[in-house]
Amino acid sequence: MATAAGMGIGAASLAPPPPTMAGTPPRVRLGRVRRRCVAELSREGGKPVAPAPLVQQKAVPSFLVPMAPPAPTPSPSSAPAPTPPPLPDSGVGEIEPDLEGIVEDSVDRTVFVASDQDSEIMDVKEQAQAKVTQSIVFVTGEAEPYAKSGGLGDVCGSLPIALAAHGHRVMVVMPRYMNGTLNKNYANAFYTGKHIKIPCFGGEHEVIFFHEYRDNVDWVFVDHPSYHRPGNLYGDNFGAFGDNQFRYTLLCYAACEAPLILELGGYIYGQKCMFVVNDWHASLVPVLLAAKYRPYGVYRDSRSVLVIHNLAHQGVEPASTYPDLGLPPEWYGALEWVFPEWARRHALDKGEAVNFLKGAVVTADRIVTVSQGYSWEVTTVEGGQGLNELLSSRKSVLNGIVNGIDINDWNPSTDKFLPYHYSVDDLSGKAKCKAELQKELSLPIRPDVPLIGFIGRLDYQKGIDLIKLAIPDLMREDIQFVMLGSGDPGFEEWMRSTESDYRDKFRGWVGFSVSVSHRITAGCDILLMPSRFEPCGLNQLYAMQYGTVPVVHGTGGLRDTVETFNPFGEKGEQGTGWAFSPLTIEKMLWALKIAVSTYKEHKSSWEGLMKRGMSRDFTWDHAASQYEQIFEWAFMDQPYVINNPPPQTTSNKNERSIEMTPSALVGKPAYGRMRAEHRAELVPKSVLLTNNEGDCDVDRGNSFWVKAALVYEAVTKHHIDDSNKPLARDLLLWIATQCYARIHPDDPILPPKADDEEGSDESKQMIDAIFLVVGFLSRLHKAMNKERASKATAAAARDAVDDTFKARHMQGIVADVIKLENQIPLSHLFDVAAHVERVVRDAPNSPELKAKLAAIATAGVEIDKYELGFDQASFGGVIDEFCWYYSPFFNNHVPVRTKVEQVAGVVAAAGDGDVAVAATATVSKEEGTLLDRLHASVVRMDRAGKGSGGGGGGKTSRIRTARELRRAGVRFAAVEEGRATVVAFVSAGGAASSATLRLPALAHDFKLATVARNLLAREHGEQTKPVTRYFQMMNELVMDAADARVLRRAGAVRAAAAKDEEIFDLIKRIDGLATYPSVFMAMDIEIEKVEEFYVKRMSNFFVRYRPAVIAASSVVAASVVAIVATRKRRG
């Protein structure tokens, strides 16, 4: 018989109920039922299937096996367990948990009904169910009621319960702190039978999982000896624990494993989870998902949301600790952090560190702050704590959601700590609460005097120093003031001495008491919160819930939640309090005096303030609905950092299958948003290829005739008109039939092919491939051959090829060919190139076309001698020509390789997410699409490895404008080879030396916007984005037309006819599709060199003030000349 260790839950919870169960009170029975909910859920199915864990499991230690009587033998007449729900991850690797001890009779079948007394603590407001339910995993360092040190514990103790009430399956993963005082909080948590070994910090460290099911949430506790020590959660009287990085690294690893191995309620959470990581303690989770799970196919369907509660705490440790984290070396950039010089300890200190929170900012799919105002503040220099630039670059995924409050604990109509209850409809109890508070504090009981309160820590951040300075002025007013809090000993002593100075007006309660905080919140008329920064703030929410009017500093969540009173609003009186700014003593006193005056002289307005505050919805149910929207947005996009798997190919080449575009972006909501915003550059206009299944600007019928016309003109050298349209149609369909038969000799019959609108998918694919090879690429190849023969320069050759497609309808086709959703596999093109020349030559002899082509033959056109200009062996050279012509960067090297032994194709699998590497082997016909080849050609590395993009992460550097750099002595030059990876900064050294920034020249022509936007769309969701990073750099270099002129004159932008304003406008429009942050390490390193040079140069007085020096010198020179001329005349 299985022991409790083999079961997924504690054996004590499975024991039969005692005989006296029926006689126990309802509340006791209800508590027992809640404690057994795990066992009740576990018997709802058979043996669950779970993915294999990524870290090693070990047998359960004997000292943790709970003693329990053996489970009774199941009755033969017992009904079978119902069918378990479908598992989200079956087949990923199976483990067979030992559940033989869980039987029907081991769980009490009695159904209990909660008593009236229990119903009082339940929220009578029915929760709205979510339209789409998710498996949500919260990872946090604290959660109430188990462990709490601040607002983080309140959020993680309440938000999961609110989301579970909406129908989601929710798990909270946190440490099992056992410091003596908190031990009792985990009394109902049972050992799960699961424990893993985590490889980090120079060894393998075993952690154990405990579990409690409460309020429809799975509370999972990670147990390790490092969590068993006296003190608070993060430190003791001597400061923070020195191994906090180790403690919370274990937590993050365990949180990633918990959904895969813990069978909670009978089955695992699986791989499609929403990880909600809170502050730096959990910030390693998104990095682990991207670096250690997704590359192996695990958690590819999961997303992560970083919730920033306080940006001041980031989990920064020395850089030497990075190897201890167990992450791959190439991921160091994701956590890399460098302190500014002023923050370093000594001259030899390089300031290098690792930053947990920064890693999450880089890799999380969405970022949430605890208020909308705080989401803006973290992007500023003042509030960004050094991460402002990185957070600014991720504004597109940055949102703010105000925290909620638990109305079961904070409700003036039911609060157990209040002597009298009241509500928005009956405020009489509030005056009584005020009188009782004055009596408790030994203050004169005066209902006409406003009572001002403060609750919070006594430290600089809460603005206590301002209160201290303002008290003498406030005490001259007819008011009373009460403060509750602890912290700085100096402020604590000041509170005691101030109380002795103003015995009838001031009371200072040093320490903290939950009951007193409730009574102060209810008894005060005004709550003062002069915080210097406040990510969200809860006391102002409690105050408004209790009809106490807040007076706050307008920062962060305080500004979001407190609306300044306006007696002359459009709809009458508006507002719930006063938010003053900036934070000065004068402004604070002004706001308080206005509030006091309103209280004394405008009773009806004051009552309106109270009622409007009490009517505001700050419940967790409201916040949960907003988080659901964030989750929905996160699942719309691909994971922000993901290593794409290699492309899947069909083993049987003759098997009929529809090969869709290799890009995973097409058809996704993220691409849909890009498509809607930039329809002109992403939606086909003239030619519609096979892969497009959505709305477009051209129907398939018209698209077919365009293809037929171009193929007909290429084969017959005749322009098409109404008389030969039927022949063009028959010729294209005949060529498609014959090519298909040669490519698929085992199954040579092409399915129905009436035309491109009604034909089968196989016929459409074949027609598209023939159009690209015969009607388009052959025309491009012949134009390139003509220019090579004339030995034209690269610029002249590119202009001449443009003239080949100068007709407006041809320019539309040129643009459509490169569009992301218009791509077909290159294998189709290679197959057609191998056979189409012979097929066309056979056309005049075919029974179907012989008579129709006879008239063309009499006009001197010898179709039987048709030459395509290339074959399958040399088709790689044609693709090189295509890439040269379509590249957004000007390349001085015109492709001359047409023979198979000269082909040096770019070997780059479609969508691999890495920078492609140039190879000298023959181009394989199975790799990618035309867009993939173009992308590989503009991002490939040198053979020496220069231009490596590095791993996933790092910081995005910013560059000065072109005019600023030019003023500092930086010259611009265009490189001969047009690739995004060849950005280089060359300096001879020294602050006064010259320097050159070498850039690939941007080729401004009619197709640049389309090519650039489709390359950027292709890079969306990839780990490395060289092209995207290049256009972001250009967006920073070019801030106006004058900057565009600087780059144009230097050759870094090639635009023969375009105006500077047009170049500036195009660069800005292209950058609008860029994804942030797009880190490309090689380019960022060069940009850092530029910034370092700029700072050194501008430190020189004559360089920094060069225009003024020149102007002054000119004035002096003119004056000297005038004086000399005057003296000569007098002389």
Containing structural domain, residue 477: 428-616
**Length reported for the chain:** 1131
Q: How confident is the model over 236-265, as pLDDT tens digits? A: 888 889 999 999 999 999 999 999 999 998
Average pLDDT of the chain to the nearest whole number: 78
Residue found by looking up tokens 């992450």 in the block: 327
Q: CA dist 1022 to 295, 910, 927, Å?
A: 12, 11, 18
Same domain as 198, residue 55: yes
For residues 1082 and 356, the model is more confident at: 356
DSSP state for residue 697 in the 8-state scheme:
S
- The helix-helix angle for 585-601 and 603-615 (nearest 10°) equals 110
Please tell me which residue, 1006 or 72, carries the higher pLDDT value. Answer: 1006
Last residue of a domain, one of 400, 415, 439: 400
302 near 364, Cβ under 8 Å? Answer: no
Q: State yes or no: pLDDT of 529 exceeds 80.
A: yes
Lowest mean pLDDT among 494-503, 532-541, 854-863, 897-906: 897-906
Judgement on whether residues 827 and 960 belong to the same structural domain of the protein: no
The pLDDT of residue 76 is above 60 = no
Determine the residue type at 1083: M
pLDDT band at 86 (very low <50, low <70, confident <90, very high): very low
Give dist(CA 644, CA 931) in Å, integer.
17
Within a domain: 1111: no
Is the per-residue pLDDT at 486 higher than 50?
A: yes
Domain-located, residue 32: yes
Give the integer Cα–Cα distance in Å for 36 and 20: 17
Q: How do residues 299-324 score in pLDDT, each as one tens digit?
A: 989 999 999 998 989 999 999 999 99
Whether residue 393 is found in the same domain as residue 438? no
Residue 1125: pLDDT above 80? yes
Question: Do the domain assignments include residue 1044?
Answer: yes
pLDDT tens digit sequence for 99-137 = 333 333 333 333 333 333 333 333 434 556 666 788 999
Strand order of the sheet with strand 549-553? 506-510, 480-485, 451-455, 526-529, 549-553, 578-580
Is the pLDDT higher at 858 or at 13? 858
> Do 489 and 606 fall within a single domain?
yes
* Of residues 1029, 1037, 1033, the one with CA closest to residue 964: 1037
CATH number at residue 213: 3.40.50.2000
pLDDT at 430: 93
pLDDT beyond 90 at 1079: no
- The token pair that represents 227 in the structure block: 């969590």
Same domain, 673 and 581: no
856 and 879 in a common domain: no
The DSSP symbol for 291 reads I
Q: Which residues contact 962 (CB under 8 A, 6 or more apart)?
A: 972, 1037, 1038, 1043, 1044, 1046, 1047
Q: Please report, for residues 498, 509, 537, the alpha-carbon distance to residue 491 in angstroms, rounded to integers and kept in the order given.
A: 10, 12, 21
Question: Is beta strand 506-510 parallel, antiparallel or unpaired with respect to 526-529?
Answer: unpaired
- At which of 352, 382, 400 does a domain end? 400
Per residue in 686-733, pLDDT (tens digit) is: 888 876 656 777 777 788 888 888 998 888 888 887 778 888 888 888
Q: Are residues 850 and 891 in the same domain?
A: no
Spatial contact of 722 and 705, defined as CB atoms under 8 Å apart: no
How confident is the model at residue 958, as a pLDDT?
A: 76
What is the mean pLDDT of the segment spanning 812-830? 88
Q: Where are the beta strands (DSSP E) in 947-1077?
A: 970-975, 984-987, 995-1000, 1002-1003, 1053-1054
Q: Are residues 250 and 331 in the same domain?
A: yes
Number of neighbours of residue 145 by Cβ within 10 angstroms: 10
pLDDT at residue 544 is higher than 90: yes
Across 732-742, b (16+ Cβ under 10 Å) vs e yields bbbbbbbbbee
pLDDT over 60 at 361, yes or no: yes
Residue of higher predicted confidence among 82 and 793: 793
Q: Which of 354, 384, 400 is the endpoint of a domain?
A: 400
Per-residue pLDDT tens digits for 768-777:
899 999 999 9
**Whole-angstrom Cα distance, residue 951 to residue 968?**
32
Query: 390-439: per-residue pLDDT in tens?
Result: 898 888 899 999 988 888 889 999 999 999 999 999 999 999 999 999 99
pLDDT at 367 over 50: yes
Question: Both 478 and 591 in a single domain?
Answer: yes
Residues 825 and 896 in one domain: no
Please report, rounded to a whole number, the percentage of residues in the chain having pLDDT higher than 90: 31
Statement: residue 945 has pLDDT above 60: no
Say if residue 155's pLDDT is above 80. Answer: yes
The strand pairing partners of 145, in sequence order, are none
DSSP letter for each residue of 982-1005: G-EEEE-SSTTS-EEEEEEPEE-S
Q: Are residues 16 and 129 in the same domain?
A: yes
- Start-to-end CA distance of the chain, whole Å, equals 125
Residue 383 lies in a domain: yes
Higher-confidence residue of 749 and 785: namely: 785
Domain assignment of residue 709, yes or no:
yes
Residue ranges in 80-150 assigned as alpha helix (H): 116-119
Q: Of 204, 216, 190, which Cα lies nearest the Cα of 64?
A: 190
β-pairing, 995-1000 vs 190-200, is unpaired
Does residue 819 lie in a domain region?
A: yes
For the chain, the domain total comes to 4
Does 1124 fall in a domain? Answer: no
Q: What is the DSSP string of 32-54?
A: HHHHTHHHHHHTTSS----PPPS
Specify whether 271 is located in the same domain as 381. yes
pLDDT the model gives residue 1023: 64
Burial degree of 786 (CB within 10 A; 0-12, 13-18, 19+): middle
Task: Please give the average per-residue pLDDT across 70-79, as a whole number.
Answer: 40
Given a cut of 70, whether residue 495 has pLDDT beyond it is yes
Tokens 């012979």 locate to: 838
Is residue 647 domain-resident?
A: no
108-112, 272-276, 342-346: least confidently modelled range: 108-112
